[in-house]
């Protein structure tokens, strides 16, 4: 038996449990395509408990190199930990990933005598090594300033880390130590926070790079600037030996050490192997201490990542909103609504109802319990006291769900695996006076098993159906229904006996909303309605409501869902996917021979108005440079044009460099060269469309060497053309970089003939 009791201290100030640290916090980030402002919105919700006065402090920092505002911890934070600069904002949640391994140390005595549980030496690489042992006597260090009776704190370390338990395996005395990848590197994360405060993360890629360089805390960090969003999972993750299971302890005798790099130091996963994302296709980032990426491993203490997690509440709410409609107020409402939702009532109660609804042996009490659950679940399964009378609005249904949960878990799993309480996972992270709830529990296990019993598809099902099963046989829908009904009746009996006076009427049962009110420490004088929400919220938006960029670019009102070309020798397949089935005019323009540009461009083929993709070939076409032009109408009736370049050489078509770039959002909407070639009478001109006033600069390079530059200047919204002198430019490809403050650089290429 391995004993962790030494991490649970009894002091004159109360019990102190250091064995199970908690995890909280959430954040929501929507990109420009989902936002009603046409630009990203970020809502951070750090959870640091509830105190009066509050433990988080909002403040600003200004210096020659720092201009930041946000939250930090008074007396500890010299920088803004969660907040914004003038160009971007960031926030975080706890990560709970696996950066700690447990080593079982075989104890020994240097004189060769038999070891005991109290021995202070351990076996490592064939030697009997001494533990590093230190004693901290708080009362002796600070006489007269602390209450008497505080315990001495004794810290022991092996080569792997601090000793957290002692005991025996069989008759072998052992100590248990934990190796943490960040030991001795605790201050490294301050470097990344400093760089954020110094406004060095101008783009999402910069943000990810900064955190990969130094941030070794297991945390989820999200970011937004005025045109893009990004995510990175912080941490320092070791490369373990192939034979080691990261979820299980290993011997500390030297054969199971982490892999080493070329310098002989511990090796860690590269930045490419740690979850991160810039400008996600979903245009959404959310975190509520859930798994950061599919297949990513949890820490040894995290058993709650499964098919059902509280993070699903906020993600489904956001994806259920029409794109381009989420306001800052709506984003806050999403977080608040999820904070009042009972995760079990939202996702598990409907499965219970489906299992029992067709049974013919239900009693009157059974049917009424199910009716109450059905009504509550249909309304969103909220634990809400809307009228402030101290009772939840659907108090009977809440009481039924609370009473049903443990009997339901035991009915599903006990007949197969014995007592499920032996698994190191609490049955329910119930609402409580500390606020945070439903972070870890049997939610995914119950949800997955009931869905499988019902025959619903699952991406990652368990090995068998437990509900209704035995150790030798899997369960079935019918047998599972029997077990669930048994659990429902057990819950009803418990509630009937609990009511004063005892009552068999489900409408008389209540859940005590007052007992779950959040209490503000240290005196608990202040309280508030329970809500599964953060300590504070930090909202940052870019742009203003009612000021959508010109042309509605961020709302993606496009004439073309998709256009493109695929050269196939002497033929070309033209991809045309119009918006909502509208027709798109397609023309082929000749813009140059192999030796000189053609001005004006000559239309050599007209393919008419198209609604689907097609393939063409034409032996009469000469070698040279061509542009496929697509013309259609936007949703508001304005004209839209797209251009793609082709080259015909030796009678065969070839796709060439981009001559046009577009952005869904941001100040720069479109940049185009109009033609893949220039020279002679065809000037070298770049046309820009800006959605709002912005500072713009252009550079032209040939072979990496700067040959032309249009210095930065501020331009208003609309079309602008920048012309470069052709004289002096050598023949060959020229790369154009268009830089607009606050957006990513867009690049084109054109050839001087």
Structure-block tokens of residue 325: 């409609």
Query: Distance between CA atoms of 501 and 679, rounded to whole angstroms?
Result: 95
Instruction: For residue 462, count other CB atoms closer than 10 A to its CB.
Output: 14
pLDDT of 20 reads 46
Instruction: For residue 425, count other CB atoms closer than 10 A to its CB.
Output: 19
More confident residue, 240 or 304: 240
Over 70: is that where the pLDDT of 286 sits? Answer: yes
> Closest Cα partner for 199 from 33, 106, 68?
68
Name the E strands within 420-537. Answer: 518-519, 527-528
Query: Distance between CA atoms of 627 and 646, rounded to whole angstroms?
Result: 6
CB 694 within 8 A of CB 680: no
Structure-block tokens of residue 750: 């054109």
At 112-138, the pLDDT tens digits run 999 999 999 999 999 999 999 998 766
Instruction: Say whether 75 sits in a helix, a strand or coil.
Output: coil
* Placement of tokens 């602008």 in the chain: 720
Query: Distance between CA atoms of 467 and 450, rounded to whole angstroms?
Result: 7
Q: 395-417 and 477-498 helices cross at what angle (nearest 10)? A: 130
Q: What is the dihedral of CA 311, 313, 315, 316, to 10 degrees?
A: 150
Query: Distance between CA atoms of 368 and 362, rounded to whole angstroms?
Result: 10
How open is the CA angle 589-591-592, to the nearest 5 degrees? 135
> Closest Cα partner for 133 from 152, 151, 149?
152
User: Distance between the two ends of the chain, CA-based, in angstroms?
Assistant: 82
Query: Distance between CA atoms of 684 and 267, rounded to whole angstroms?
Result: 52
At 80-92, the pLDDT tens digits run 999 999 999 999 9
Partner residues linked to 166 by β-bridges: 3, 175
Structure-block tokens of residue 137: 């006597």
CB 186 within 8 A of CB 192: no
pLDDT of 164 reads 93
pLDDT of 22 reads 44
Q: Report which secondary-structure segment, H or E, holds 371.
A: helix 364-378
Q: What is the largest CA-CA distance in the chain?
A: 101
Query: How would you write 97-130 as a 3-class SS string?
Result: ECCEEEEEEEEECCCCCCCCCCCCEEEECCEEEE
Query: How would you write 525-546 as a 3-class SS string?
Result: CCEECCCCCCCCCEEEECCCCC
pLDDT of 525 reads 78
Give the pairing type, strands 250-251 and 100-108: parallel
Classify residue 35 as exposed, middle or buried by CB count within 10 Å of its CB (0-12, 13-18, 19+): buried
Instruction: For residue 537, count other CB atoms closer than 10 A to its CB.
Output: 19
Query: Distance between CA atoms of 345 and 333, rounded to whole angstroms?
Result: 20
At 424-455, the pLDDT tens digits run 899 999 998 888 899 889 999 999 999 999 99
pLDDT of 718 reads 82
User: Mean pLDDT across the stretch 5-21?
Assistant: 47
Query: Distance between CA atoms of 585 and 576, rounded to whole angstroms?
Result: 10
Over 80: is that where the pLDDT of 566 sits? Answer: yes
* Confidence bin at 375 (pLDDT 50/70/90): very high
Q: Report which secondary-structure segment, H or E, holds 578.
A: strand 571-578
At 664-721, the pLDDT tens digits run 566 788 889 888 888 887 788 899 888 777 788 899 999 889 999 988 888 888 889 9
User: Mean pLDDT across the stretch 263-273?
Assistant: 93
Structure-block tokens of residue 495: 């509630």
CB 75 within 8 A of CB 93: no
Query: Distance between CA atoms of 540 and 552, rounded to whole angstroms?
Result: 21
At 20-58, the pLDDT tens digits run 444 458 999 999 888 888 889 999 988 888 888 888 888
User: Mean pLDDT across the stretch 167-188?
Assistant: 93
* Placement of tokens 């490809």 in the chain: 733
Q: What is the dihedral of CA 662, 663, 664, 667, to 10 degrees?
A: -120
CB 698 within 8 A of CB 720: no
* Local structure of residue 382 (DSSP, 8 states): B
Instruction: Say whether 713 sits in a helix, a strand or coil.
Output: strand
* Confidence bin at 556 (pLDDT 50/70/90): very low
* Confidence bin at 142 (pLDDT 50/70/90): low
With pLDDT > 90 as the criterion, what percentage of the chain qualifies? 55
> Closest Cα partner for 166 from 337, 358, 7, 363?
7
At 332-364, the pLDDT tens digits run 999 999 999 999 999 999 999 999 988 999 999
Instruction: For residue 675, count other CB atoms closer than 10 A to its CB.
Output: 25
Give the lowest-confidence range in 485-494, 645-654, 665-674.
665-674
| Residues 6+ away with beta carbon under 8 Å from 493 | none
Query: Distance between CA atoms of 429 and 438, rounded to whole angstroms?
Result: 5
Structure-block tokens of residue 84: 């914004």
Query: Distance between CA atoms of 206 and 219, rounded to whole angstroms?
Result: 18
Query: Distance between CA atoms of 71 and 25, rounded to whole angstroms?
Result: 14
Length of the chain: 753
Whether omega before 600 lies within 30 degrees of 0, making that bond cis, reads yes
Query: Distance between CA atoms of 296 and 298, rounded to whole angstroms?
Result: 7
User: Mean pLDDT across the stretch 225-230?
Assistant: 92
* Confidence bin at 240 (pLDDT 50/70/90): very high
Name the E strands within 350-447. Answer: none
* Local structure of residue 548 (DSSP, 8 states): P
* Placement of tokens 């032009």 in the chain: 629
Query: Distance between CA atoms of 41 and 540, rounded to whole angstroms?
Result: 6
| Residues 6+ away with beta carbon under 8 Å from 748 | 657, 658, 659, 660, 661, 671, 672, 673, 686, 735, 736, 738
pLDDT of 51 reads 84
pLDDT of 595 reads 87
Q: 349-356 and 395-417 helices cross at what angle (nearest 10)? A: 80
Name the E strands within 611-717. Answer: 614-617, 624-633, 639-649, 652-655, 660-662, 668-672, 677-678, 684-690, 694-702, 705-715
> Closest Cα partner for 682 from 592, 564, 575?
592
Over 70: is that where the pLDDT of 559 sits? Answer: no
* Placement of tokens 């809500």 in the chain: 531
Query: Distance between CA atoms of 643 and 748, rounded to whole angstroms?
Result: 13
């Amino acid at each position: 038996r391995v004993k962790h009791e030494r991490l649970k201290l009894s002091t004159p100030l109360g019990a102190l449990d250091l064995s199970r640290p908690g995890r909280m916090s959430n954040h929501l980030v929507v990109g420009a395509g989902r936002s009603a402002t046409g630009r990203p919105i970020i809502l951070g919700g750090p959870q640091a408990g509830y105190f009066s006065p509050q433990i988080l402090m909002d403040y600003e920092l200004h210096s020659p190199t720092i201009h930041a505002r946000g939250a930090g911890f008074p007396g500890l934070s010299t920088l803004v930990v969660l907040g914004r600069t003038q160009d971007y904002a960031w926030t975080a949640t706890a990560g709970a990933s696996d950066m700690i391994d447990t080593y079982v140390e075989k104890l020994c005595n240097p004189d060769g005598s038999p070891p005991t549980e109290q021995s202070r030496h351990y076996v490592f690489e064939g030697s009997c090594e001494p533990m590093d042992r230190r004693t901290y006597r708080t009362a002796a260090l600070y006489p007269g300033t602390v209450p008497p009776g505080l315990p001495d704190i004794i810290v022991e370390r092996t080569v792997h880390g601090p000793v957290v338990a002692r005991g025996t395996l069989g008759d072998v005395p052992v100590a248990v130590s934990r190796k943490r990848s960040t030991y001795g590197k605790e201050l490294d994360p301050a470097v990344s926070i400093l760089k954020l405060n110094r406004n060095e993360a101008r783009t999402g890629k910069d943000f990810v790079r900064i955190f990969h360089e130094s941030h070794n805390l297991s945390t989820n960090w999200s970011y937004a600037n005025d045109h893009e969003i990004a995510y990175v999972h912080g941490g320092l993750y070791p490369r373990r030996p192939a034979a080691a299971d990261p979820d299980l302890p290993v011997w500390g005798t030297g054969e199971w050490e982490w892999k080493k790099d070329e310098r002989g130091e511990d090796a860690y996963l590269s930045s490419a192997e740690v979850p991160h994302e810039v400008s996600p296709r979903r245009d959404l980032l959310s975190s509520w201490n859930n798994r950061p990426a599919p297949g990513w491993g949890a820490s040894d203490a995290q058993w709650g990542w499964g098919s059902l997690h509280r993070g699903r509440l906020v993600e489904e709410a956001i994806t259920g909103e029409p794109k381009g409609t989420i306001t800052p107020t709506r984003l806050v409402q999403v977080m608040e609504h999820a904070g009042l939702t009972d995760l079990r009532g939202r996702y598990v109660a409907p499965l219970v109802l489906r299992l029992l609804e067709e049974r013919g042996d239900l009693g009157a009490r059974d049917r009424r319990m199910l009716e109450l659950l059905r009504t509550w679940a249909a309304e969103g399964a909220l634990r809400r006291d809307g009228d402030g009378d101290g009772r939840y609005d659907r108090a009977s249904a809440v009481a039924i769900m609370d009473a049903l949960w443990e009997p339901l878990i035991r009915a599903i799993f006990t007949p197969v695996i014995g007592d499920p309480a032996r698994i190191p996972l609490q049955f329910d992270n119930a609402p409580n006076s500390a606020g945070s709830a439903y972070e870890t529990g049997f939610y995914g296990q119950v949800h997955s098993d009931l869905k499988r019993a019902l025959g619903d598809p699952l991406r990652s099902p368990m090995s068998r159906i437990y509900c209704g099963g035995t150790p030798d046989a899997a369960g079935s829908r019918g047998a599972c229904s029997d077990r669930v009904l048994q659990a429902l009746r057990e819950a009803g009996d418990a509630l009937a006996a609990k009511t004063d006076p005892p009552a068999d009427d489900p409408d008389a049962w209540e859940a005590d909303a007052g007992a779950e009110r959040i209490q503000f420490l240290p005196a608990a004088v202040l309280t508030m309605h329970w809500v599964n929400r953060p300590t504070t919220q930090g909202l940052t938006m870019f742009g203003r409501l009612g000021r959508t960029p010109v042309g509605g670019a961020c709302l993606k009102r496009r004439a073309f869902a998709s256009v493109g070309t695929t050269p196939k020798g002497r033929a070309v397949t033209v991809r045309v996917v119009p918006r909502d089935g509208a027709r798109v005019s397609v023309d082929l323009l000749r813009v140059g021979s192999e030796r000189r540009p053609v001005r004006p461009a000559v239309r050599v083929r007209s393919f008419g108005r198209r609604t689907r993709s097609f393939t063409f070939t034409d032996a009469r076409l000469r070698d040279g440079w061509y542009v496929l032009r697509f013309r259609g109408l936007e949703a508001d009736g304005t004209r839209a044009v797209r251009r793609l370049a082709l080259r015909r050489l030796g009678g065969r078509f070839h796709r060439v460099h981009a001559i046009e770039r577009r952005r869904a959002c941001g100040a720069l909407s479109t940049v185009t060269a109009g033609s893949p070639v220039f020279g002679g009478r065809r000037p070298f001109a770049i046309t820009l469309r800006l959605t709002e006033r912005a500072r713009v600069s252009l550079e032209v390079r040939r072979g990496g060497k700067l040959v032309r530059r249009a210095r930065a200047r501020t331009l208003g919204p609309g079309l602008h053309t920048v012309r470069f002198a052709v004289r002096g430019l050598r023949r060959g490809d020229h790369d154009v970089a268009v830089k607009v403050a606050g957006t990513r650089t867009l690049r084109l290429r054109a050839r001087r003939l």
